[in-house]
Amino acid sequence: MSKERSKSKDTKLLLDEYEQRIFSMLKIHDMLDKNNQYTEINLSEYLLELIAEYKHTYPQISNNFRVEIEDIDHLLSTKKAIHVGLIISEILLNSIKYASTLTKNYMVSISLKQLNKNTLALQIGDNGAGFDFAKETKDSNLGLPLIKDLIDQLEFKATYPTKNNCYYTIEFDTTLAQ
């Protein structure tokens, strides 16, 4: 309600970001309830739900998503799913905020693939100019440090954007506890 009443573009943008973070957690609750499964969530289904919400929330770029989500039967605990949802939300919010308006033929790509028997890879990013993740993380106030902290907490292997590459690659070891 505050977002609709606000006259400041910055305030509306900030409230949009908080709304998306909350949605990523709310979507888990909805999926758990729908499946009568209250401890785990299917990673592929969750990613597709999050992407659908972003397309709905940002119709101006809904055609700018390239999605390649393999139907992988991998369950995450609700705690890990919340962390993964927040990571994805932060990455997408940053992409929309910084790259969508500055990049000609802007495209955001999301893929989930089985690399081998015990490893899944989530790649997410855009065709923007790129940035130095390590440097920007030190100067950032919330989004980038949050991404790094959540990935570190989950003990996932990750590759971060560089000056010539706007993609995050996150590897899940499926042999570790869900």
Contact 17, 93 (CB under 8 A): yes
Question: CA dist 173 to 8, 34, 121, Å?
Answer: 43, 27, 9
The token pair at 75 is: 């369950």
The pLDDT, as a whole number, for residue 1 is 45
SS3 159: strand
DSSP string, 67-128: EEE-----EEEHHHHHHHHHHHHHHHHHIIIIITTTSTT--EEEEEEEEETTEEEEEEEESS
* 8 A C-beta contact, residue 23 and residue 53: yes
Would you state the pLDDT for residue 120? 95
**The pTM is what?**
0.81
- The rounded average pLDDT for each run of 10 residues, N- to C-terminus, in the chain (178 residues) is 58 63 61 66 89 89 94 88 89 89 92 94 94 87 87 94 94 78
What's the rounded Cα separation, in Å, for the pair 41 and 78? 7
